[in-house]
Structure 1
Amino acid sequence: MSRIGTIFSPYPHPPEELREAARVAEGEGVPELWLWEDCFRSSAWAAAAGALAATDHLRVGVGISPFPLRNVAASAMEVATIERMFPGRLLPGFGHGVQDWMRQVGAKAASPLTLMREQVPALRALLAGEAVTTEGRYVRLRDVSLDWPPATAPRVYAAAEGPRTLQLAGEVADGVILDSRHTVNEIRVAVDTVRAGWAEAAREGRPDVVAYVLTAFGPSASDRVAAALSDYPDAADRALAGSVGEVGEGVARFQAAGVDDVVLLPTDDVDLSVFFAAVGQVAVALPAAGGVS
């Protein structure tokens, strides 16, 4: 089922603003609020727990937390703890991380793809309550299991950009997170690559695809997204802008390209309360936007 979400960015907004932002988003009818963890701003997992505690039914996505920063057992404990406290409301996502930052903290993996290939299956197995023993290049576990696994393991998402990572995400993760600044056609190609990886691994069902899309509402919307995407001559094809109805039509185009969860990313200069209200109106205009596929 198609969904709509939005983002609380750690760039213009410090952590102390998150709880109120989450309450506003929920009050405006926004189904999902997504966060991310960039060095050295705020912890994704602490932030997710705070947003969930401040709300009653809002789903909170982490898109993403870097694989190299934590041992996979620690990541499993973070996810399991939050999932048990707020069942069915956490959407946990992981990715390579910015390589310069990973190098800065002494955590850069020589092969990020190998790290993903080892971490995601181990994480999914731990969250499923399994005892895991593995001896990989980066992940080494000896009969490790969670004492308090989730009653139902959440989907584990992997962020992906290039074709090799997209293919791998389809092979090992439950879903993929696609960054903003892509055209609908570029998203369609990415979705096809993820699905090809899923099929090659002979997995049942299908991957859940999340895509961030830079969005602006109102009469100056086109100018604001053009300024934010000034490096792109085709900025209008890489963002959504205009009225609630016009943004809704754009969301439908991304859905038709295979996106399950269209996450509307505000420009940095926006009033979040006003933006969240508009996102809530988009969700109402798309009646299938509330459920998790």
Structure 2
Amino acid sequence: MARFGYFLSCEEHGPAELVEQARMAEQAGFDALWISDHYHPWNDAQGQSPFVWSVIGALSQAVSLPVETAVTCPLVRTHPAVIAQAAATCAVQLDGRFRLGVGTGEALNEHILGTVWPEAPVRLEMLEEALQIIRRLFTGEQISHHGKHYTVENARLYTVPDEPVPIDVSAFGPQAAEVAARIGDGLITMMPDASVVERFRRGGGGANPVYGGLKVCWGADERDAVRTAHRLWANEQLPDELPQVLPTPRHFEQASELVTEDRVAGSVPCGDDPDAHVKALSEFAEAGFDTVYVNQIGKDQQGFFDFYRAKVLPALRG
């Protein structure tokens, strides 16, 4: 049976709010936490973007749930040797309850230092090399690395967990799922697509875990919830590679003008019908996902957690 986690949105909430939401998630009966890792929000309406590693430190003292970044890009903005240190420290703070979710990132967050934003095939190549460095550093041994994309000289992590941090790879589509199967300890993907799960498992992922996530907007007025979801997260409906190449929140706002409220209503469970929420989460479980993370859009987090504790999680588990 699938487990159900809560997805903390660093794009929408400040650090204190995120820690409080994590407490509410644990009290409501969620099994685990995801947390996004961004430099910018997707648009100015979302309005936040705290440094994820600081927030995870606070989470380690506030809750007993497992935590995973969804996802970190260890390619351009932050060198993989630095990500290795951050992840190792989080794993120690969380007593082994930390997983590192990684992906090839978006120009939105990664272009800020003025470096070239590589094409997708190059980013996949960089990701594979980055994970080699990170895993070697997790051993606690001194390493040097002189590769195509990265150099590391005489680096050693002195604060490491007893076991290496598991690394899950974000992938969209069957071919990327095969890459995740080859280089990752698990798969992260955001659509309940059984064919992607099967491709991952047959490509070498075997019984490794598969994680998925979706956004919802709980509220007593369904139409108002749709408007909230559209105002804050219309960018979720942008197609294909576009979200990976737009460089600023303003560009996302411009592109999102093409996304209608009806498009959002057809993709995001909105309102207070528990059956709609249960159906959306069950689609992931039926597609073979091990854990599904749900994120509430908007400010009414307490109402959402009360609703899920009373009506949604019991139905999913019963």
TM range (shorter): 0.7 to 0.9
Residue number among 111, 117, 121 corresponding to 1:103 in the alignment: 111
- TM-score w.r.t. structure 1 length? 0.80
Residue number among 99, 115, 138 corresponding to 2:126 in the alignment: 115
Query: Where is the strand percentage greater, Structure 1 or Structure 2?
Result: 1
Per the TM alignment, residue 146 of structure 1 is displaced from its structure 2 partner at its CA by 2.2
> Which residue in 2 is equivalent to 1:224?
225
- TM-score w.r.t. structure 2 length? 0.75
> Which residue in 1 is equivalent to 2:278?
248
Instruction: Return closer, same or farther for 1:136/1:165 CA change in 2, 3 Å cut-off.
Output: farther
CA RMSD of aligned residues (A): 2.9
Instruction: Return closer, same or farther for 1:285/1:211 CA change in 2, 3 Å cut-off.
Output: same
Contact preservation (8 Å) 2:138, 2:164: yes
Per the TM alignment, residue 78 of structure 1 is displaced from its structure 2 partner at its CA by 0.7
Per the TM alignment, residue 4 of structure 1 is displaced from its structure 2 partner at its CA by 0.5
Residue number among 243, 261, 264 corresponding to 2:291 in the alignment: 261
Per the TM alignment, residue 77 of structure 1 is displaced from its structure 2 partner at its CA by 0.9
**For the residues of structure 1 that align with 2:66 and 2:285, how far apart are their CA atoms?**
20
1:264 aligned counterpart, secondary structure: strand
1:65 aligned counterpart, secondary structure: coil
> Which residue in 2 is equivalent to 1:202?
none
Per the TM alignment, residue 285 of structure 1 is displaced from its structure 2 partner at its CA by 3.9
Task: Report sequence identity in percent.
Answer: 24
The one-letter amino acid of 1:106's match is G
- Runs of 5+ unmatched residues, structure 2: 41-48, 235-258
Q: Deviations over 1:104-130 (max 9, x none)?
A: 323445321111111123323322445
**For the residues of structure 1 that align with 2:96 and 2:305, how far apart are their CA atoms?**
22
Instruction: Return closer, same or farther for 1:260/1:247 CA change in 2, 3 Å cut-off.
Output: same
Aligned pairs for 1:146-225 (under 5 A) are 146-179=157-190, 182=191, 184=192, 187-198=193-204, 205-217=206-218, 220-221=221-222, 224-225=225-226
- Runs of 5+ unmatched residues, structure 1: 200-204, 289-293
Instruction: Return closer, same or farther for 1:162/1:143 CA change in 2, 3 Å cut-off.
Output: farther
User: Structure 1 stretches (4+) deviating beyond 6 angstroms?
Assistant: none
> Which residue in 2 is equivalent to 1:66?
73
Per the TM alignment, residue 232 of structure 1 is displaced from its structure 2 partner at its CA by 8.7
Which structure is richer in relative contact order (CA contacts within 8 A, separation 6 or more)? 1
Aligned pairs, how many? 276
> Which residue in 2 is equivalent to 1:53?
61
Q: Deviations over 1:21-59 (max 9, x none)?
A: 22222222222222112223221211111122122x122
Instruction: Return closer, same or farther for 1:61/1:117 CA change in 2, 3 Å cut-off.
Output: same
